[in-house]
Amino acid sequence: MELPYERQILRLLQELSHYQVVVRHCRQENAKYTDELEKTCREIERAVYEMEEKQQAALSQWRKINEQERTRIIFPVTSGVEKMAELAEQKGCKAMGQYLESMIMEEILGLLDQPEIYME
């Protein structure tokens, strides 16, 4: 199970590494866009830091409530996902509805199924 914001952080880090490679090549060639690329790297680094702060806040808040409260928070989402799948089927998109339901439910239930990640 991933931590909150883990995908976003990983995407930003991947993007940052690509930019850093380009910056190194630009420095070697004394390219005129180096400063702008370095600025973009700093912005991505700042975005990663902000996502990590959000991640820690989400974990901290989630750890403060008990399993029953977590279930009460999540239940309306699961109910909505089921309704979404029903609507998709009514509109002739049963397979997509099932896919979305499966994907979303896996994420949602993971919040409850792996307490070692979310507990101190």
For the chain, give the longest Cα–Cα distance: 59
| Interval 48-63: pLDDT, tens | 999 999 999 988 898 8
Q: Are 79 and 109 in contact (CB under 8 A)?
A: no
- pLDDT at residue 71, as a whole number: 86
| Interval 59-113: pLDDT, tens | 889 888 888 898 898 889 989 999 999 999 999 999 999 999 999 988 888 777 7
- pLDDT at residue 114, as a whole number: 58
Q: What is the token pair recorded at 48?
A: 């990663």
Which of 9, 106, 97, 83 lies closest to 53 in space, CA to CA? 9
Tell me which DSSP letter residue 3 carries.
P
- pLDDT at residue 119, as a whole number: 55
